[in-house]
């Protein structure tokens, strides 16, 4: 049995799409151009991607039923091509268009922060990396490289798999930071379980890396744990115990215009 949801649920989006199919000038495509894509529901955006429907079944109805069938956009993104193509009204052409659109969204989420962007808070970092990391089914460890003024100079994925102090070695974590002459780093990894609460291993790894960073002169500003709908910041929670300067606050030892990377 499919549960009926409130505003924003697949059922609600089905009602929103189904209420408009005959409205002149009020279709999803027209509203994207007039009001912007952000004003459309997920089902309406899918309808725009599908383009046209089938005989007796408009694209809006196919999109709404597809979203109801899979339950969420995330579940739809994880579905295989054959599974999507088997849904009523889809077929190979619409399935290909939808999967291409989903991949474009995924690639946009994976795009690195622009070089020179100043990082000012854990929330900023989580907002950028969350869409990429929270959908993964295995743990991925990422290092964000910053200069002395906390401007982005690069990022690197250094580990895939369970977080373990014997596997996440300071050598792999700090190698890209040393290559790029980074003054500080932010650590990130995801919890596929959906719970952002750091494990004992998470804390052990963070402590070890923060100590290594102190020796190398590369500050560990934060470690963010990304989960399905939330994140946890070690710096915000006070778990770095003074090992890192909070994100967005240059270290007192920051050099001025005449020396050091700024």
Tokens of 118: 């100043």
The pTM of the whole model exceeds 0.75: no
CA–CA separation, 120 vs 183, rounded Å? 15
Residues 6+ apart with CB under 8 A from 35: none
User: Is there a domain that residue 242 lies in?
Assistant: no
* Residue 89 DSSP symbol: T
Residue range of the domain that includes 193: 122-237
Asked if pLDDT for residue 1 goes beyond 70, the answer is no
**Pair (87, 40) in one structural domain:** yes
| Residue 198, in any domain of the structure | yes
**Distance between CA 229 and CA 208 in Å, rounded?**
28
Residue 229 inside a domain? The answer is: yes
Among the residues of 135-187, which ranges form H helices? Answer: 170-179
The full 3-state SS of 199-242, as one line of letters, equals CHHHHHHHHHHHHHHHHHCCEEEEEEEECCCCEEEHHHHCCCCC
- Poorest-pLDDT segment among 5-19, 75-89, 102-116: 5-19
Q: Look at residue 121 and give its three-state secondary structure.
A: coil
How many structural domains does the chain have?
2
pLDDT of residue 25: 58
User: What's the mean pLDDT in 210-236?
Assistant: 92
DSSP summary character for residue 113: P
Residue 85 neighbours by CB distance under 10 Å: 17
């Amino acid at each position: 049995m499919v549960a009926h949801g409130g505003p924003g649920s697949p059922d609600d989006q089905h009602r929103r799409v189904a209420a408009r199919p005959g409205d002149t000038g009020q279709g999803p495509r027209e509203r994207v151009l007039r009001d912007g894509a952000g004003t459309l529901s997920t089902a309406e955006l899918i309808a725009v991607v599908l383009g046209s429907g089938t005989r007796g079944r408009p694209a809006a109805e196919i999109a709404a039923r597809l979203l109801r069938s899979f339950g969420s956009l995330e579940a739809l993104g994880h579905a295989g091509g054959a599974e999507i193509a088997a849904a009523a009204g889809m077929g190979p052409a619409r399935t290909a268009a939808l999967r291409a659109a989903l991949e474009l969204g995924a690639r946009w989420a994976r795009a690195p922060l622009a070089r020179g962007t100043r990082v000012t808070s854990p929330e900023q970092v989580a907002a950028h990396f969350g869409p990429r990391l929270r959908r993964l089914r295995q743990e991925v460890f990422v290092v964000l490289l910053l200069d002395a003024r906390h401007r982005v100079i690069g990022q690197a994925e250094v580990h895939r798999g369970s977080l373990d102090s014997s596997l996440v070695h300071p050598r792999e974590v700090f190698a890209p930071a040393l290559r790029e002459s980074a003054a500080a780093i932010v650590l990130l990894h995801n919890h596929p379980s959906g719970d952002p609460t750091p494990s004992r291993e998470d804390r052990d790894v963070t402590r070890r890396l923060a100590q290594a960073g102190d020796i190398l002169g590369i500050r560990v500003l934060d470690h963010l744990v990304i989960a399905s709908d939330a994140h946890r910041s070690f710096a915000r929670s006070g778990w770095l115990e003074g090992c890192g300067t909070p994100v967005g606050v240059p270290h007192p030892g920051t050099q001025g215009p005449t020396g050091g990377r700024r």
